[in-house]
Amino acid sequence: MPSPYRALFTEPGTKSFSAAGLVGRMPLSMMGIGVVTMISQLTGRYGLAGALSATMALSAAVLGPQISRLVDRHGQRRVLRPATLVALAAGAGLLVAAHFGRPDWTLFASAAGVGAVPSLGAMIRSRWAALYAGTPKLHTAYSFESVVDEVCFIFGPIISIGLSTAWFPEAGPLLAACFLAVGVFWLTSQRATEPVPHPREDHATGSALRSPGLQVLVATFVATGTIFGAIDVVTVAFADERGHKGAASVVLALYAAGSCVAGLVFGLLRFSGPAQRRWLLGVSAMAMSMIPLLLVGNLALLAAALFVAGLSIAPTMITTMSLIEKHVPRANLTEGMTWVGTGLAVGVALGSAMAGWVIDAAGARAGYGVPVAAGAAAVVVGFLGYRRLRRPVTGRGGTVEQHGEREARNLA
C-alpha cells in the first residue's frame, strides 16, 4: 500500500473501524440485486422483483437522512443498533413472506422497512473527519473510502447472485443481512473513534439540506444516480440481446474497477485549487464519458468504454465529500453525507425505470440515451449552482476545521 494510505492507519482504531465499514457496506450492493434474483426465481415475476428493489431504495432515501440526523445528535451506537435491528427484522419478514408465497402487500411492507438500514459509508467518513479534519490525510481517507465502495460494488453482486442461483433463492439477501449485522455491531462497539455527538441545541437551524451548497450537490447526484441506475439495466439488456447475459456482471465490474483505479491514484495527489472547480470538471467528464456508449456495437467495446467512464466516478465522489465538509456545519456532517447518498438512491430508481421504458420501446442500444441525458442534466445543474459552491459555510456551527479548533480550545 502506498505510504499516504499506510499513514492513515497509524492512529489507534482506524484499521478496526475501516474493516467494520467494509463488512457493513457489502449489503449496499448485495441486497437490491439479491432481492431481484430471489423474487424472480421464486415467482418468475420480474416486475414485482424490480418494484420491491425500488421500494427499498426509495425507503432508504427517505429514512437514511433522518437516521443520520439522529446519529449527529445522539451518537452512532445509540442510533445505529436499533435502526439496524428494524432493518434486519424487516429483511427477515421479506424472506419469510417470499419463501411462503405471502400476498404482495406483505412483501412491499417488509421492503419498506429494510430502508431503515443506516448509511455505513457516511458513518465511516465522519470518523475519518473527526480524526483528520483540516489535514491532507482527510483527502486520502475519503479516497480510500471511495475505493472501498467500489470494491463492494465489484464483488457484492457477484456473491449475491452466485449464492441465490447456486444454493437457494434467499441465500444472497440472507448473507447481506449477516454482513449488515456484523458490520454495524462491530463498528458501534468501537467507542474510542466514535465522533462526539452534538446535542439538540446545535441543530436549532434544522436540516443540513438547508445549505445552498448541499442542495446543489444533492440535485446533481440525483442525475448522477440516474446514470448509474440506467447503465446497470441497459448493460444487462445489451448483453442479453447479444446472447451473453451472464457477461453483464463482468462488464459492470469493469465499470466499478475503473472507478477503483482512479480513486487509488486520486488519493495520492495533492491539489491547491478550489475544490468546486475540480468537482465541476469531474461531473463534466462523467457526462462526456457517456457519449461513446451510444456508439458501441459489441460487449468488448462496451467493457472498454465503461472502464474509461468509471475513471471519473471516484474522483468526483471524493471531491463531493470534501465540499460537503465545507458547506455543512460539523453538527450535521453525517446527515449531509447521507443526503448525497439519498440523491444517488433516488436517481438510481429513476434511471432504472426510465431505462426499462426506453429498452421496451426501442431496444437496449437506445437505452444508453438515458445516461447521456442524465449526464447532461448533471452538468447543467452543476454550472447553474456553481456560485453556491463558491460560498462555504461560515455560520451555523462552522465547518469541520472551525469546529475542530473550537473543541480543541474547549479541551484546553
292-345: pLDDT as tens digits: 999 888 889 999 999 999 999 988 988 888 888 777 777 777 777 788 878 887
Domain membership of residue 117 (yes or no) is: yes
Maximum average pLDDT range among 59-63, 219-223, 255-259, 388-392: 219-223
Domain membership of residue 92 (yes or no) is: yes
Q: Which pLDDT does position 200 carry in this prediction?
A: 59
Which CATH number covers residue 96? 1.20.1250.20
What does pLDDT average to over the chain? 82
**What percentage of the chain reaches a pLDDT higher than 70?**
90
Sign of CA dihedral 179, 184, 185, 186: positive
Read off the pLDDT of each residue in 348-370 and give the average, rounded to a whole number: 82
Domain membership of residue 158 (yes or no) is: yes
**What percentage of the chain reaches a pLDDT higher than 90?**
27
Range of the domain at 270: 206-394
Read off the pLDDT of each residue in 158-177 and give the average, rounded to a whole number: 85
Close Cβ partners of 135 (under 8 Å, ≥ 6 residues apart): none
Domain membership of residue 407 (yes or no) is: no
Do 188 and 281 belong together in one domain? no
Domain membership of residue 133 (yes or no) is: yes
pLDDT confidence bin for 109, thresholds 50/70/90: very high
User: Looking up cell 437551524, which residue turns up?
Assistant: 205
- Of the candidate ranges 20-24, 107-111, 196-200, 322-326, the one whose mean pLDDT is the lowest: 196-200
Last-in-domain residue among 142, 163, 195: 195
pLDDT confidence bin for 404, thresholds 50/70/90: very low
Specify the number of domains making up the chain: 2
* Residue 292: all three cell numbers together: 461513446
Could you tell me if 292 and 305 are in contact, meaning their C-beta atoms sit under 8 angstroms apart?
A: yes
Q: DSSP assignment, residue 296?
A: -
Q: Which pLDDT does position 175 carry in this prediction?
A: 93
Read off the pLDDT of each residue in 158-176 and give the average, rounded to a whole number: 84
Per-residue pLDDT of 11-51, as tens digits, reads 889 999 999 999 998 888 788 778 877 887 888 776 677 77
**Residue-by-residue DSSP string for 143-201:** HHHHHHHHHHHHHHHHHHHHHHHHT-TTHHHHHHHHHHHHHHHHHHT--TTSPPP--GG
Do 135 and 210 belong together in one domain? no
Do 189 and 274 belong together in one domain? no
Do 177 and 318 belong together in one domain? no
pLDDT confidence bin for 96, thresholds 50/70/90: very high
Nearest to 222 by CA among 357, 121, 320, 113: 320
Residue that wins the pLDDT comparison between 272 and 253: 253
Do 42 and 189 belong together in one domain? yes
- Residue 240 pLDDT greater than 60, yes or no: yes
Domain membership of residue 148 (yes or no) is: yes
Domain membership of residue 50 (yes or no) is: yes
Per-residue pLDDT of 58-83, as tens digits, reads 888 888 888 888 888 888 899 999 99
**Residue-by-residue DSSP string for 316-354:** HHHHHHHHHHHHS-GGGHHHHHHHHHHHHHHHHHHHHHH
Close Cβ partners of 314 (under 8 Å, ≥ 6 residues apart): 143, 146, 147, 150, 259, 260, 262, 263, 266
- Return d(Cα 354, Cα 364) in angstroms, integer: 12
Could you tell me if 383 and 280 are in contact, meaning their C-beta atoms sit under 8 angstroms apart?
A: yes
Last-in-domain residue among 195, 227, 259: 195
Q: DSSP assignment, residue 45?
A: -
